[in-house]
C-alpha cells in the first residue's frame, strides 16, 4: 500500500465517497420499495372498494357516477339562467366563477390524462378489477372527481353555509368512491382529481377578479 492510501486526507475522502454511495443506494432502494408499496396499496384498495356489490351500494354508485357530468355542468348553467331572469349581476358573477372552476378542472385533468397516459385498472388487472362501466380515456387523474370537487369547492367558497357545504362535500366524495366502485379508477387517480378540482376552484378566486373586471367592469 502506498503512502497516499495511508494518508488521513485520503481516508477521510474515501469515507465521504463511501457514505455518499451508501446514502444514494439507500435512497434509491427506499424509493423503489415505496413505489412498489404504493402501487400495491393502490390496487389492493381498489380491489376492496370494487368488491362492494350490495344492491344499494351498486345502484347508488352507478347513479352518482352517471349523473356527475350533468350536475357539474347543470348547476352553473342554472345559476346563469336564474341570474339572467332575475337580472342579478352578483349571481351571474357567481355562476361565471363556478362554471370556469369546473371548466378549468376539466381542461387540466384531460391534459394530464393524455400526458401521463396511465392504463385503466380493469385493463391492467383484469383478474382483480371488474369494470361495471368502460372508459376509453387514460386513467390518471379522475376527471369526474376533479370536476365534482371543483363544483363543490367553488359553491362552498361562494356560499359558506352548512346546508351547502355538507351536501356538496358528500356528493363530491361519493363521486370519487363511485369511480372506484365502478372499477374505472385507482384511489390515486381519485385523490389527484380531488386535489386538482379543489385547487382549480381556489386558484380561480384570483383569476375571476381579473375576469370580473373584463366582463363586468369591476
C-alpha span between 182 and 71 (Å, rounded) = 19
- Residue 1 placed within a domain: no
The answer to whether residues 191 and 85 belong to one domain is yes
The answer to whether residues 19 and 112 belong to one domain is no
The answer to whether residues 142 and 53 belong to one domain is yes
Express each pLDDT in 168-195 by its tens digit.
999 999 999 999 999 999 999 999 999 9
C-alpha span between 207 and 200 (Å, rounded) = 10
The answer to whether residues 68 and 103 belong to one domain is yes
C-alpha span between 117 and 100 (Å, rounded) = 25
Q: What is the pLDDT of residue 133?
A: 86
Q: How many domains does the chain have?
A: 2
The answer to whether residues 58 and 154 belong to one domain is yes
The answer to whether residues 58 and 21 belong to one domain is no
Give the CA distances from residue 174 to residues 18, 120, 137, 149, in Å, rounded to whole numbers and listed in that order. Answer: 51, 20, 21, 10
Residue 28 predicted with pLDDT over 70: no
Handedness of CA 107, 108, 111, 114 (dihedral sign): negative
Q: Which of 63, 71, 139 is CA-nearest to residue 102?
A: 71
Express each pLDDT in 38-54 by its tens digit.
568 899 999 999 999 88
The answer to whether residues 34 and 54 belong to one domain is no
Q: What is the pLDDT of residue 17?
A: 54
Q: Would you say how long the chain is, in residues?
A: 218
Query: Cell triple for residue 192?
Result: 389527484
Express each pLDDT in 117-157 by its tens digit.
999 999 999 999 998 888 889 999 999 999 999 999 999 99
Residue 25 main-chain phi, psi, to 5 deg: -65, -45
- Residue 6 placed within a domain: no
The answer to whether residues 64 and 87 belong to one domain is yes
The answer to whether residues 62 and 105 belong to one domain is yes
Q: Measure CA 205 to chain center.
A: 19
Domain ranges, residue 112: 49-216
Work out the pLDDT band at 94, boundaries 50, 70, 90: very high
Cβ(43)–Cβ(128) below 8 Å: yes
Amino acid at each position: 500500500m502506498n503512502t497516499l492510501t495511508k494518508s488521513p486526507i485520503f481516508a477521510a475522502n474515501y469515507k465521504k465517497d463511501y457514505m455518499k454511495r451508501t446514502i444514494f443506494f439507500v435512497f434509491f432502494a427506499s424509493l423503489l420499495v415505496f413505489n412498489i408499496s404504493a402501487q400495491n396499496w393502490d390496487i389492493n384498495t381498489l380491489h376492496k372498494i370494487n368488491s362492494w356489490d350490495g344492491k344499494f351500494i351498486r345502484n347508488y354508485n352507478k347513479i352518482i357516477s352517471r349523473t356527475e357530468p350533468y350536475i357539474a355542468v347543470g348547476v352553473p348553467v342554472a345559476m346563469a339562467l336564474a341570474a339572467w331572469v332575475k337580472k342579478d349581476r352578483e349571481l351571474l358573477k357567481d355562476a361565471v366563477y363556478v362554471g370556469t372552476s369546473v371548466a378549468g378542472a376539466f381542461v387540466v385533468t384531460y391534459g394530464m390524462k393524455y400526458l401521463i397516459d396511465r392504463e385503466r385498472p380493469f385493463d391492467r388487472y383484469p383478474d382483480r378489477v371488474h369494470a361495471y362501466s368502460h372508459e376509453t380515456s387514460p386513467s390518471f387523474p379522475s376527471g369526474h372527481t376533479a370536476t365534482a370537487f371543483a363544483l363543490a369547492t367553488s359553491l362552498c367558497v361562494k356560499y359558506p353555509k352548512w346546508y351547502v357545504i355538507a351536501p356538496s362535500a358528500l356528493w363530491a366524495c361519493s363521486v370519487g368512491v363511485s369511480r372506484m366502485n365502478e372499477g374505472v379508477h385507482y384511489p390515486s387517480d381519485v385523490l389527484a382529481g380531488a386535489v386538482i378540482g379543489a385547487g382549480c376552484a381556489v386558484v380561480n378566486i384570483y383569476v375571476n377578479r381579473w375576469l370580473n373586471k373584463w366582463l363586468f367592469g369591476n
